[in-house]
Amino acid sequence: MHYCYLSTPIGELLLAAEAGELAHIGLPTDGAPAAPKAGWQADGTALTRARRQLAEYFSGQRTVFDLPLRLTGTAFQRQVLAVLRDIPYGQTVSYGEIARRIGRPRAIRAVGAANRRNPLPIVIPCHRVIGADGSLTGYAGGLPLKAALLTRERADATAAANPNAAPHPHRTACEPPRLHRSARAIAKAR
């Protein structure tokens, strides 16, 4: 597996590819970049396209990714990941809605587990999945990061719908988010 780091407004992302397919995105934790696994080789040339598309995403110029992906996991997990890819930029859906879309309306917890195992956060937008009551729920990068990504996307989507509006400050930088009241309570409980 070949890897490189990408500097973004949310910190250093670890990108890893195998056979030309993006296989892993590691989110920073507590400001520190994710570490590559043993045996991975540093090589940014294999990830040029992924780096470019993620940079475009963070600059507000990209809403959909067009990358070759190496998806692993069970058939159920891959089914959930496929549905996650269809969630439009700037919008959210609940875990229950994902379960309904895959034809397993009672599999809400299993959908949550598959969502947590997403090896390609941001590109496969698991941050767009929220609780049934609209609250932010778990995210590998933490709830503040999830809130920041959603705030950025909603601002960009609003700006695209209203081109005469002033640019939103999150278009160029990820400022500390204002968490939904439920997310703030969850973050304090940790």
Active site residues: 126
Phi, psi of 146 (to 5 degrees): -60, -45
Which has the closest alpha carbon to 88: 17, 154, 44? 154
Phi, psi of 79 (to 5 degrees): -65, -45
CB burial of residue 138 (10 Å; 0-12, 13-18, 19+): middle
CA-to-CA distance for 99 and 110, rounded, in angstroms? 8
Residue 31 in tokens = 């400001």
CA-to-CA distance for 74 and 180, rounded, in angstroms? 33
Pair 22, 123: CB distance under 8 Å? yes
Burial 1-12 (b: 16+ CB within 10 A, else e): bbbbbbebebbb
